[in-house]
Each structure stands twice: as C-alpha cells, then as structure tokens.
Amino acid sequence: MRISFFVTCIADNVLTNVGIKSVELLEKLGCTIDFNPRQTCCGQPLVNAGYQGKAKKSMRVLIDALLEDACEYVVAPSGSCVLQVKEFPRFFKGDSLWEPKAKLLAGKTWEITDFIVNVLKITDTGAELHGRAAYHPSCHMSRLLGVREPPLQLLGNIKGLELAPFKGQDKCCGFGGAFSVEMPDLSGAMVAEKVRNIADAGVDYLIGADGACLMNIEGRIRREGLNIQVLHIVEALMKA
Amino acid sequence: MSIKTSTLNLKQRMQQSLSNSFLRASIANAQDWINQKRETCYAELGHFEQWRDLAADIRSHVLDNLDYYLDQFARNAQKAGSTVHFAENAGEALRIASEIFQQKKAKKAVKSKSMVTEEIGLNEALEEMGVEIVETDLGEYLLQVDGKDKPSHIVVPALHKNRQRIREVLAEQKGYKGDDVPENMTRFVRKILREAFLSADIGITGCNFAIAETGAVALMTNEGNGRFATSIPKTHIVFMGMERVAPTFEELDILFSMLARSAVGARASVYMSLLTGPRAKTDADGPEELHIIIIDNGRSKVLSSPFKDVLRCIRCGSCMLECPAFRHVGGHGYGALYSGPLGAALVPVLGGYKAHWDITQICSLCGACNDVCPVRIPLYESILEHRRIIAEDEKLTSWIQDAAFSQYGNVIGNPAIYTAATKLTRLGNLAPRVGPLKEWAKAREIPKIPNERFRDWFAKRKGTDNDNA
C-alpha cells in the first residue's frame, strides 16, 4: 500500500525521530512511503491564534503537496495536525477550486495509530518494551478527532509493557500551541500538574501520540530532573 | 456590578490568580469532587449523549421561537396574576425595580442567588437608594459579608473560599465564635438569615426556567432560601434573562434533570419551586404581588450573532468545573461575571470585544468543555471563532503579534522559504532565550534541535537532495 506521509512540521524539524520511526513502522507493516518535500505546516498555530486568513496560503501548499502523489492514504503521526487537515474544507467553503481539493485530502488523511488499527487492521506490531508506562491521550486526537482506542490497543500489545492509569490522565497538558508562550504561567501551571500526576504513577515511560504535547511534557520532566523517558507511540511501537 | 469585574489586565489577573496557591487548591478540590459526583450520577442515569441531544434540541427550539414563547409566557403569567415587565437593558431593569421599591416604600430586601441581578448591578443600585439587601444563598451571603467579594463560579459562588477562610470572615464581620465545621457555621448564618426573611419587604429571585404554558417561574435551590424569599415578603420580584423559557413542564422535566446533575452532581436540586402568580385567596402563604422583569441586556445581540447557540446555556457551570485552565485561574481571573469556557464564549458578545477580547485567551483549546455541556454548546468552536474575529475583524491583537504571525504565515506558505528557514534553524540550539522561547522556558526546558531534519534523513535514504524541491 502506497502512502503519502505527512510528517508535520514538529516531527520534521524538532522530533525528527518521530518522523523516522513512523516511516520505519509503516514500512515494517508493509506500506510504501512517499514523502513530498513541498509540504510545510498545516497552519494550525495561525488558526488557533485567530489568523485564519494568514493560514490559508500554507493550507493550499499542504493540500497540493499531499495530493500530488495521488496515494490512496495520507498518514501523519499527530492527531492534532490531522484534525486541522480535516477542518480544511470549512476554511475553503464556497471556493470552487479549493473546497473540493480540501475535501479530497480530508477524506484520505489518517492519524497513524488509527490507520494501523482501522485500515491495516493490525493491533500487534511485534514490539517489546519492558517497564511501566503512562499514556497521555492528547485532547485534539482523543476528544475532537475521536481517536481514543487505537493507541491503547497498540500499546496493550507491546510485550513487557504495563500501562499505568494516572490522576487527570485525560486532562490537557497545557500546550495549546501559541497558548504555551502567550499564557506562559497558566500553561506552566497546567503542565506542572500533569507531570506531577505522571510522576506519582511511578512510571518509566510517558507515551503519547502527539509530538507537540510530548515536547511540552518532556520539557517539564527535564526541568524537574525526573527519570521518565518520553516516547512518541511510534517510537514505542518500534522497540524490540 | 456589570459584566466586567476587574480593572486589571490579563497578565496582572493571571499573576494574581496563579500566585494564590490557596485559591488554586480550593478550586482543584471542588472540581475533582463535583466532577466525580457528576460522572457517577450520569452513569446511573445512563444515555448521557441522548439526554444531551434532547436538551440541546429543546433549548434550540426555544431560541428559534423565542418571540412566540416569550409572548405566551408573558400572557399566561399575567393571567395568573403576575405583573410582567420587559427591560431592554440593565438601566431599564433597574428603573423598573426601583419604581417597585419606591411604590412599596421598601427598605429591606432578601435575595436568592441570581446571576442576572449581578449582571445588571442590582445590589449596588438598591443600596444607593438606601435599601438594605441581604443575600440569602449561603455562598453569596459569605461573599457579601466579606466586603463585597465577587462570585467566582456561577453555581458555587464562594468556590474560592475554604472553610477556614469562611470562619475568619464570619468571626471578623459577624462575631462568630465557633469552629470551622460547616454545619456549625451554617447554623450560625441561618439564624441571621431567618430574621432577615421575617423582616424583609421584598423578596428577589432569579429564574431558572419560565414555563410558557402556564406562566410559572421555576426556581431550583439547594438550601431552601428561595422558598423563604418567595413566601414571606409581601412582594416578590423575579429577574429573568429573556432566554430562560421552557415550553411546557415536559421540557422542564428534561432540563431540570440535567441541571442538577451537571451543576452539582445531584439527581435533583434539593428544592424546586414552581411559582404561578402571587398568593391566591386560598393559599396559606406567598407574596401579594409578583413582578417578573424579563431582561434582554445584550441577549438579542447574541441571538442574532453567529454565537446564538451559547444562549442555550442553562447555567450549570459544568464547563468551568471541567476546564483545566479554570482550575488554575478561578472565576475572578477571567475579569468578567461569566467565566470559564462559557464566559469566553458569551462575554465578548455580551460585553463587547474591546473590553473582553482577552477572556478568549484563557483557553488551551482542549475541548473538554464541549464534552460535558448538557446542551451541547459548541464552546470550543465559539472561542476559536472569537479569536478569528479579534485578530481579523476587530483588529485588537498587537502589531507585534500580527507581524510575527504574518512572518510565520509567509514562511510556511512557501515551500522554498520554509526549507531554507528550517535549515537555518539547525543553528537553533544557539538561539538566544528571548521572545517566545523565553516564555516557554519559564516552566520547561527548550527541546533540543537535531542537526538533521526528517526531510534530510528521508532524502539521504532515497539518495535525492530535497532542498531542490
């Protein structure tokens, strides 16, 4: 199966290993990966700050880049960025050229765990990782995109991994895009509480499926000098 | 009081709230406790999503036909002997109320909890007329006694006070000598309030729901103070937000069932009073006159705006209790009478963007509010749309912010520039800790920027140079 890979700007530039492990994982599961280097960012930081108009240029760039290879599926390692792509048709409503393109892209774009479980129909990737892990279900992915079960199904089948529930598990980590720098103290209070709860669960790993939230949580874990390793789910699923 | 409750700017309000660890612990405890009760009692009820569909449909239907139902309600209320007044704004509502007070030569009023009276600044106006007004909801009473403290939550107004603080307030202001056991403090206040009920000329209440079919006013309280305020004084004035209508008792049943569960995690409120007109000849008690003041005060503006759905709100406050930002900020930090996600969705329309644009910033867009709202208000979407209006239509964002986001838009809007710029940021680990990075680093470490981008890795692997893209 040929897939157009949407790496997302965070995994392209900062969490590079998330992009790499996504590709390796999808290949391991039998997919062929196309990566169109004309892709940039989905524009979500702009939209969330209110600058919808300024975001449209990047949306058009992304639509063209991801549709160019005409793959059946577009897959990304971020529920939040996928949610944004699914919202594209709303931003181009009434635009005779771009609305149909946005709809086409939205219809074939999948969050990676959702894709593995519900398209590839695989729930065991053959991974092995020993220890106790906390899973942070990112807000956009679980609440707004509605992808709740697939990551848990995949993690549940990692040999040696014990999933630990923790207080406030489904609560926001305080990232919120520009929110984290526009409202630094509030965002900081939110991530501090999140990390305190994770630490209280006595885990070796914190696993999530959205790079931005992980960057936030990891930054706090490092600030507090805690011995908890932060992994994107694709990294966990490639452990053997 | 009006909608705006603070003269401090956003940054100052955040500092004030976040530095108050006592406040934050109180709110966190209340959130965890009430949310748990709410989940338990909805689990017991079952079919939460279907209940929400039903309640949302009812409220939308009422808003779509508000003129019809308001007219029906007013006619039936008058038929039952109530006097109905319509007030377009706070000033008109206050004028109508003060006329009633003058006519009755009223000097003392008891008041049951009501947000709309806070909205129009009723207490201040009446006090200026020389009327003594006593809040009789325990939480509101404590705020009043504590030198006009303001409610920090629409259902649990004294959420920011714990029992030690309450004991202090009662001791300082009312000479209370007991301990901080809630029952003992309540007993103490109760004695004071009983005397107020017996000596008041006028009873004042809000209105949870107005039943169009019969002209009844439905009041839900948990302390019973609403009953005293509506049965002992000779005159009762109801202040009602114009959107509070339910067509018949059948719809009231649904809304009532959800309000108590969503607000405090109880199957039902302790008391529900249905007040249809003043005391009849055969009644044992009740007021001789019942006035209902139906207040617009910006609601028509909301109704004709893209944010109409926000008027579905039944004021349960569950969005605030679920909100992770409210948890650390508390009601006062929002700078407006309505706080939390509801405040962020409603206040910019009700009080204007210029005065309240910043309330929309107190949100990480996590969407938790949408999942608990009993009437399915699209709170997340409303807040996002407000931000768009603030940046693009009202142009209330700073030029620095506009410029920074324009710059970002230009970079990500052009693959060649993006590719060049992201290559340059490989030097990112040298980036000075200024601007956004400095803000980020307040609470957490800055991520390490790897030497190689994903696209470099992919191109190398394929043996192509993607910089020529």
The A73-76 sheet, strands edge to edge: A32-34, A2-5, A73-76, A109-111
User: Could you say which of A37, A45, A183 has the minimum Cβ distance to residue B469?
Assistant: A37
Residues of chain A found within 8 Å of residue B466, distances taken between Cβ atoms: 37
Annotation: CATH topology of A128-237: Rossmann fold (3.40.50)
Determine the 3-state secondary structure of A32 from DSSP: strand
Q: What pLDDT is stored for residue B429 in this prediction? A: 57
Distance CA(B362)–CA(B182), nearest Å, equals: 33
Q: Are B307 and B349 in contact (CB under 8 A)?
A: yes
Any bridge partners for residue B220, and if so which? B272
pLDDT tens-digit series, residues A57-81: 999 999 999 999 889 999 999 999 9
Q: Tell me where in chain B the CATH 3.40.50.10420 domain(s) lie.
A: 10-300
Q: Kindly state the tokens that stand for A19.
A: 């992009």
User: Could you say which of A61, A176, A186 has the minimum Cβ distance to residue B413?
Assistant: A61
Q: Kindly state the tokens that stand for B253.
A: 């049943």
Interchain contact, B405 vs A179, CB within 8 Å: no
- SS3 string, B142-204, reads HHHHCCCCCCCCCCCCCCCCCHHHHHHHHHHHHCCCCCCCHHHHHHHHHHHHHHHHHHCCEEE
Question: Which position has the token pair 């971020």?
Answer: A78
Residues of chain B found within 8 Å of residue A181, distances taken between Cβ atoms: 436, 439-440
Q: What pLDDT is stored for residue B468 in this prediction? A: 46
Instruction: Give the residue from A197, A182, A102, A230 showing the smallest Cα distance to B365.
Output: A182
User: Could you say which of B365, B406, B455 has the minimum Cβ distance to residue A176?
Assistant: B365
Q: Tell me where in chain B the CATH 1.10.1060.10 domain(s) lie.
A: 310-393
What does pTM read for this prediction? 0.95
User: Could you say which of B397, B413, B425 has the minimum Cβ distance to residue A58?
Assistant: B413
Smallest CA–CA distance, residue A113 to chain B, in Å, is 20
| Residue B67: burial class (beta carbons within 10 Å; 0-12, 13-18, 19+) | exposed
Distance CA(B398)–CA(B402), nearest Å, equals: 6
Report the length, in residues, of chain B.
469
Interchain contact, A48 vs B14, CB within 8 Å: no
Interchain contact, B389 vs A50, CB within 8 Å: yes
Interchain contact, B412 vs A58, CB within 8 Å: yes
Q: Kindly state the tokens that stand for A139.
A: 């807000």
Distance CA(B158)–CA(B166), nearest Å, equals: 9
Q: What pLDDT is stored for residue A202 in this prediction? A: 97
Smallest CA–CA distance, residue B5 to chain A, in Å, is 20
Interchain contact, B443 vs A52, CB within 8 Å: no
Q: What angle do CA A98, B307, B58 make, to 5 degrees?
A: 115
Nearest CA in chain A to B327: A190
Q: Kindly state the tokens that stand for B370.
A: 């949408």
Nearest CA in chain B to A224: B444
Interchain contact, A37 vs B459, CB within 8 Å: yes
Residues of chain B found within 8 Å of residue A12, distances taken between Cβ atoms: 422, 453-455
User: Could you say which of B327, B392, B443 has the minimum Cβ distance to residue A187?
Assistant: B443
Interchain contact, A179 vs B365, CB within 8 Å: yes
Q: Kindly state the tokens that stand for B163.
A: 């029992």
Residues of chain B found within 8 Å of residue A182, distances taken between Cβ atoms: 361, 439
Q: What pLDDT is stored for residue B469 in this prediction? A: 43
Distance CA(B83)–CA(A159), nearest Å, equals: 73
CATH class of B10-300: alpha beta
Interchain contact, A223 vs B368, CB within 8 Å: no
Q: What pLDDT is stored for residue B153 in this prediction? A: 85
Q: Is the ipTM of this complex over 0.90?
A: yes
Interchain contact, B439 vs A144, CB within 8 Å: no
Helix, strand counts (H, E) of chain B = 23, 10
Smallest CA–CA distance, residue A70 to chain B, in Å, is 18
Q: Are B106 and B79 in contact (CB under 8 A)?
A: no
User: Could you say which of A40, A171, A216 has the minimum Cβ distance to residue B418?
Assistant: A40
Other beta carbons less than 10 A from residue B414's beta carbon: 17
Nearest CA in chain B to A59: B413
Architecture of domain B310-393: Orthogonal Bundle (1.10)
Distance CA(B422)–CA(A6), nearest Å, equals: 16
Determine the 3-state secondary structure of B82 from DSSP: coil
User: Could you say which of B414, B447, B453 has the minimum Cβ distance to residue A215?
Assistant: B447
Interchain contact, A172 vs B380, CB within 8 Å: no
Instruction: Give the residue from B89, B106, B61 showing the smallest Cα distance to B308.
Output: B61
Which stretches of chain B drop beneath a pLDDT of 70?
A: 1, 427-434, 464-469
| Residue A132: burial class (beta carbons within 10 Å; 0-12, 13-18, 19+) | middle
